[in-house]
Each structure stands twice: as C-alpha cells, then as structure tokens.
Amino acid sequence: MSAMLWVTTEEIRGKRIVETLNGVRGNAIRARHVGRDIAAFLKNLVGGELRDYTKLMAQAREQAIDRMIDDARSIGANAVVSVRFATAEIAAGAAEMLAYGTGVIVEDDG
C-alpha cells in the first residue's frame, strides 16, 4: 500500500486536485498514568518539559493521523488537504487528539 500524502495547505505543489470527496478524520483518546502524574507534578515544581506527556501526545497524534488516512482511503481519496489538529480533555486524566482534513483525489500536474 502506498503512503498517503497529507498536507496542512489547501493545495499540493506539483499535484492537481481532480475531485474533492469529503471531510475525513481520525481520533485517539489517551489516558494518563498515575505514576506519570506524580512525576509530572514534581517536574512542574521545578519547571521544564514533561517528557512523558510529550511522548503520550506524540503517540496520540500519530494514531489520529493513521486513522484519518484510513478514513480517507475508505472514501477513495489518495491525499488529504487542509489537515488540522485539535485536542480536548474528555475526562479527568484523559485527552483526545483529533486530526481532520479534506479527502481528495490528486493527479500529477502537467
């Protein structure tokens, strides 16, 4: 299976959008770990990056992108334009990462 091209722009240089299909999305919900919360609290007292949370959000973002790509493939798209990301707290200790965009069919320009 070939890699799906996705961009945050409305157009893809060197490609021509021949059909706009539909909005596509993917999400991932991750829960924090109690041990990480304690370490994060202590780190927060002295300042600095919360690496465990950074890693957790990066994993959630990648999973959301993969699911968005699966959604795009399911409607016949070969690219996704105007990709955006959003996060939301779902419950205490759980957050959602959402990736969304517009599934399109592109061809080489020229």
For position 33, which CATH number holds? 3.30.110.70
Is residue 72's pLDDT more than 70?
A: yes
Q: In the chain, how many domains are there?
A: 1
What was the pLDDT predicted at 53? Answer: 77
The pLDDT confidence band at residue 79, using thresholds 50, 70 and 90, is very high
User: Pick from 85, 100, 94: which is nearest to 23 by CA?
Assistant: 100
- Give the span between the Cα atoms of 34 and 29, in whole angstroms: 16
Confidence of residue 110 (pLDDT cuts 50, 70, 90): confident
Model pLDDT for residues 14-68, shown as the tens digit of each residue: 999 999 999 999 999 887 665 555 555 555 556 666 677 788 888 999 999 999 9
Checking if the pLDDT of 87 tops 80, the result is yes
Domain containing 99 equals: 5-108
pLDDT at 36: 54
User: How far is CA 31 from each of CA 40, 67, 93, rounded to the nearest angstrom?
Assistant: 14, 18, 6
